[in-house]
Amino acid sequence: MPTSAETTEQDKDYPDIQMEDGDVIITFRPRSLAAKRRKLVDQGVPGTMLLADFGALVRFRRDPPPAVTAPPAGYPGFTNPMPMADPLTPGLPRKTLDSIRLLLASGVLPPETMTKIRRALGDQVDDGDADAANETDDAKEEDPKSGAGSDAEEKDEEANEDGDEKENESMEEETSNSVPENHSETTGTCSVLDLVSAGLAEKQPDVHTLQSAVLPHTAAAAPLRSGAEDLVKSVARHSLPLILFTPGVQDVSLQILLSQMPAAEASLTSLALPPSIKVFGNRFDVSPEGKIVGLAEPSSEVGRGWVTEENQDMATAMLSLQAEEAEALQTLLVPRKNAVVLSTSPAGADMSRGAPSVDTVLRVGFAEPGENLAEVISQFQRADFDVLVLGDGSLGYLTDLLKEIATGRTKGQEQADQQQQALESQRRAQEQAAQLHQSWATLAY
């Protein structure tokens, strides 16, 4: 608990809004932030780790992906629309899961499953279109030699419909009974991932075919923030641990990242990332034949469970690893007492939970401006975030911070040095001018 003097000091630490290189940045407690930055700079790279949710690297707004002119055999291509911004419907997943959106738009999932996922994500789905998609899907399975109007088929269909209705009612009842209060967002994301896993298990697409269906459109569907490439380069250059969490499909999120990195090898089967970057999420479950048979549900504190916005933290990451991997990561992180957290959700404030030695956390949030912006800002402030970048601002704040940590000098010190150098250059120029004037004066006599 803070002392009365510390509380008084915090009360005097008023929020500040600045424009830096076109980015709108809110600093909730400038004095507290300055102290944290000084500590990170003093302890340098060996004492620092980065923790981020994948959404923090991706812009909020984007254009729909273009249609595929020659889609892979058996896939309709990107004919389905993607939203321009994340839905903010109460009770539904707050952040659009970009990897899920790419799977939807690529058409690799059954039409009925895609309709259910869109509804779970808060999209407006035309019932007529949904029924037509289901009828088309059913028609593919219909035996052309059998009579269309036989009584036996009608009875079977009625029995199946009754069974489906009862199953759906049972699932809805089970879901409603198991949903804890104030966890609708988590439940919504889990529901989406359940549907995706079931749809992949039904279709069992080839992993390479899915790669060619998704990869060309990652930049249009989920463009990275400006500065993402510099961030990855800085992390690689200084061997700085970066733990990335993705509540969507980990393999597709990696494609989104790597496909927009120059000279990066973007492949579902051989992804190349700097060794210090670790990614945790919901991975494809791939059969020995190279077929995707669903999503592999990671281990969690309650047995097994999907990675969502609510459990993106180091405790979950450690549980999802094999014993040797967890021990290696633990050894890497033990000396690091400082964590920089990047998140698009106030829930990301606890991302360092489970980190072995962290005692100082500098939190950077990203928020999309909207009608409820004031409430969103308040939520980040209550969650003890230090900095909030509005809209599609760049990652410049973070790359500047990493530069300070790597060089051991703050931005203020750099600016002071530059001013001193400018004054020194001006002094030398004035001395040279005086000497030249004296020389001309001597020649005149």
Side chain identity at residue 67, one-letter code: A
pLDDT of residue 358: 93
- pTM comes to 0.73
Q: Find, among 365, 426, 367, the residue nearest to 398 by Cα.
A: 365
DSSP state of 206: B
Question: What are the residue ranges in the chain where pLDDT is below 70?
Answer: 1-11, 61-96, 126-187, 262-271, 299-304, 410-415, 443-445
**How many other C-beta atoms lie within 10 A of the C-beta of residue 353?**
14
Instruction: State pLDDT tens for residues 225-256.
Output: 999 999 999 999 999 999 999 888 998 888 88
Paired tokens of 44: 């340098």
Domain 4-59+218-297+332-412 belongs to what topology?
A: Rossmann fold (3.40.50)
DSSP letters, 160-189, are HHHHHHHHHHHHHHHHHHHPPTT-HHHHHH
pLDDT of residue 85: 41
Return all residues near 90 (Cβ < 8 A) that are at least 6 apart: 184
pLDDT of residue 65: 43
**The tokens 């990195």 sit on which residue?**
261
Burial 267-302 (b: 16+ CB within 10 A, else e): bbeebebeebbbbbbbbbebeeeebbbbbebbebee
Burial class (CB in 10 A: 0-12, 13-18, 19+), 32: middle
Inter-residue contact 384 to 349 (CB < 8 Å): yes
Paired tokens of 89: 């419907």
DSSP state of 445: -
pLDDT of residue 365: 96
User: What values do phi and psi take at 363, rounded to 5?
Assistant: -105, 130
pLDDT of residue 210: 78
Domain boundaries in the chain? Answer: 4-59+218-297+332-412, 419-445
Inter-residue contact 377 to 388 (CB < 8 Å): yes
Paired tokens of 314: 């180091």
